[in-house]
Amino acid sequence: MYMKTTFKQEDQHLVMAFEGRLDTAASSQAEEDMRVLYDCEGRDIILDCTHLDYISSSGLRLFLGLIKNARPKGSHVYLTGMNDNLRQVFDETGFTALFEIL
């Protein structure tokens, strides 16, 4: 039971990879880690969910907070590599329509 994030800056993109479970217990650490994405300044953000196993409402709130910050700055938020379970959570909460899912 863990949760790990990796941040990369590629050309004009900010990329953050998630690994493990983004549950309530992990959410405060994730919130800290994601702060770097708030300085996107119009650059697109890619959230790599290939190794994200689980997300609860605490994690969804972080994603919503991020896109609410990035949108007005002209940044797009892309989600990549979501597994079916994760995709179901996004579908049920209406989040699928909020993000650009690749």
Partner 1 sequence: MHPKTSNESLRPDSHEMKIKGLTTNLSSIAVLIAAALLLELTTAVQYLSTRNGITRKLTEMAQHDLSETNRTTLLKLDVEEFTTKMLPTIERLTANHDTDSLRLYIGQMLDKQHEIVGFDYCHVVGNDRQRNGIYIYKDDEGKCAEHSIDFDYTQRSWYSEGLKGDGFWSEPYMSNYKVILMCTYSMPVRNEQGQTVAVFGADVSMRDLSALAAQLFDNQQRSLLPIILLHGLGLLLLGFIIIRSVRSIRRLQVVGAEKERIANELAIAHRIQQAMLPKTFPPFPDRNDVDLYGALTPAREVGGDFYDFFLRDEKLFFCIGDVSGKGVPAALVMAMAISAFRMLSEHESAPERIISQMNDSMARDNDYNMFITLFIGVLDLTTGQLRYSNAGHKSPMIDSQPLPVTPNLPIGTMPDFQYALQQTTIKAGSTIFLYTDGLTEAENDSKEQFGSQRMHTIIARTSSEGASPEALIGQMTEAVHDFVGETEQSDDLTMLAIRFKLKQCDNVMELESAKRQYHLTLPCDVKQTTRLAEWIEGICETAGISPSTTMQTNLAIEEAVVNVMKYAYPNGAEGDVQIEAATDDEWLKFIVTDTGLPFDPTALGDVDTSLSVEERSIGGLGIHLMRKFMDSIHYERLDGRNVLTLCKRII
Residues that bind partner 1 (CB under 8 A): 1, 21, 23-25, 54, 56-58, 60-61, 64-65, 67-68, 71, 84-85, 88-89, 92-94, 97-98
CB of 75 to partner 1, least distance (A): 12
DSSP three-state, residue 22: strand
Could you tell me if 91 and 99 are in contact, meaning their C-beta atoms sit under 8 angstroms apart?
A: no
Q: Taking the complex as a whole, how short is the minimal distance between the CB of residue 39 and partner 1, in angstroms?
A: 19
What's the one-letter identity of residue 54? Y
Which residue do the tokens 């209406």 mark? 94
Name the residue among 52, 46, 42 with its Cα closest to residue 16. Answer: 46
- Spacing of C-alpha 56 from chain mean position: 12
**Distance of closest approach, residue 60 Cβ to partner 1, in angstroms:** 6
